[in-house]
Amino acid sequence: MNMPHVDDGTLHAYLDGELSPPEAQAVEAHVAQCPACRTRLDEERALIARAEELLAQAAPPDRELPPFRPPDVKPPARLWWQVRTPLAWAATIALALGIGTYVGERERGGPQLAPTGRERPTIMADQLARPAPAPGPATASAPDSAFAEQRQRLAERRLRVSKQAASPAVVGAMEEKSAADSIARGEATPVTADGYLAAKAPAPSPAHRELMQLSTYGGAVKGPPIGVDSARLLLGSDPLAVPDLPVRGIYRARMIGYTGMVIVEQALDSSTVIEVINGRRSPLALDAVVVTGAAAALPDSQSPGARALLNTRAADSLAAAPRPAPTPPADQDKAKRAASGLFVDVLGPLPPDSLAALKRLLRPLPP
């Protein structure tokens, strides 16, 4: 034999198909005339097979490939018929939430009569909307558990609400929301009583919207921790945070109506944690589509009777909607941000004015 034995590494490389053709030929030539190496080749082949078998036993469950979702910076150019179904779902759920809140308040005979914060569907909304601090369960010393509890309540609430709002009611809710939105925006709509309603009750409409928004994102599902890069991608811009506060974590969150939602957790002090909610509204957000699309479609598709019903419902909703009269100053700010597509809010076991103050401090998180 004019060639030394083939070493293990080369045998494995040969069996793995990683040798160049001349190298592979050299191995074959040697093995052909060397029984010892032939035996070793078989042994190594068995070893490789066994190792693969073992690794296969430690493989994750084979799941379907999730769709590639590169966080797009530009709004996706989707066609309306591709969008309609998910959008309809989003609208249904979000509106069921809103109407459920309203129905719930009526059931209990109004917000003032609710004895504790326990049954309140939208504690966060109340906290923000009320000028005076309302010490409830949410201001307990363990912020995490308090929030978990809140979310739990909201989730239960949502479940109950979606049961109440069976399909006809949901359709009604959708119409009502579109009407309420039109009023809130002061838009001319084909609904005849709108002028009257808008003149009579100009203030409650934004409050009503506010309430819905808050109760909706209160139900956001907090996901796994992510890096700043991913947060930026999800939002299409820098996530906002309170400067000079240590960031405890950045989390992805999911919520219908938002293409991207990020929660920045920051420690205010050793025992207080605040959450900065950054949400990028879907380019096909509820207001945008329901108002322009549905309202425009109303005169053609709705019978006069249905329209009358719609008016009554809208009036009801405005009359019965809880109206926290003084709106926090941060609202305009928020409205502006919401309009620009980014929705930001600060949650934490603090009085509303403190939260509002923190919100005014928000700055883009440095990379």
Partner 1 sequence: MSDVSADSLAEIYRTTYRALVRFLYRKVWDAERAEDLAQEAFARAVVHKPENARGWLFIVAANMARDEARRAARERRHLTLLTAESQDGTPTSDDVFQEEQERVQVRTALEQLTPRDREVLLLWDSGLSYSEIAAHTGLAPGAVGTTLARARRRLVEAHEAGEKGEHAARG
77 binds partner 1 (CB under 8 A): no
Cα–Cα dist 286/95, whole Å: 9
Binding residues for partner 1, rule CB under 8 A, total: 38
Q: Which of 1, 59, 79, 132 binds partner 1 (CB under 8 A)?
A: 59
* Cα-trace Rg, the chain: 30
50 binds partner 1 (CB under 8 A): yes
Q: Which of 21, 35, 63, 300 binds partner 1 (CB under 8 A)?
A: 63
Q: Given the rule CB under 8 A, which of 142-150, 221-229, 273-281, 345-353 is the region that contacts partner 1?
A: 221-229
Q: What DSSP string runs through 44-89?
A: HHHHHHHHHHHHHHTPPP--PPPPP----SSPP---HHHHHHHHHH
Q: Which of 1, 21, 22, 58 binds partner 1 (CB under 8 A)?
A: 58
148 binds partner 1 (CB under 8 A): no
Q: Which of 7, 156, 187, 316 binds partner 1 (CB under 8 A)?
A: 7
Q: Which of 169, 171, 201, 233 binds partner 1 (CB under 8 A)?
A: 233
Handedness of CA 232, 238, 239, 242 (dihedral sign): positive
8 A C-beta contact, residue 253 and residue 223 = yes
Tell me the two tokens of residue 46: 């068995």
Q: Which of 24, 26, 34, 47 binds partner 1 (CB under 8 A)?
A: 47
22 binds partner 1 (CB under 8 A): no
35 binds partner 1 (CB under 8 A): no
- Cβ proximity to partner 1, 18 vs 156, nearer residue: 18
Tell me the two tokens of residue 226: 């992510």
8 A C-beta contact, residue 313 and residue 176 = yes
Burial of 65 (0-12, 13-18, 19+ CB in 10 A): exposed
**Would you tell me which residues interact with partner 1 (CB under 8 A)?**
7-13, 16, 18, 44, 47-48, 50-52, 54-55, 57-63, 65-66, 68-71, 223-224, 226-227, 229-230, 232-233
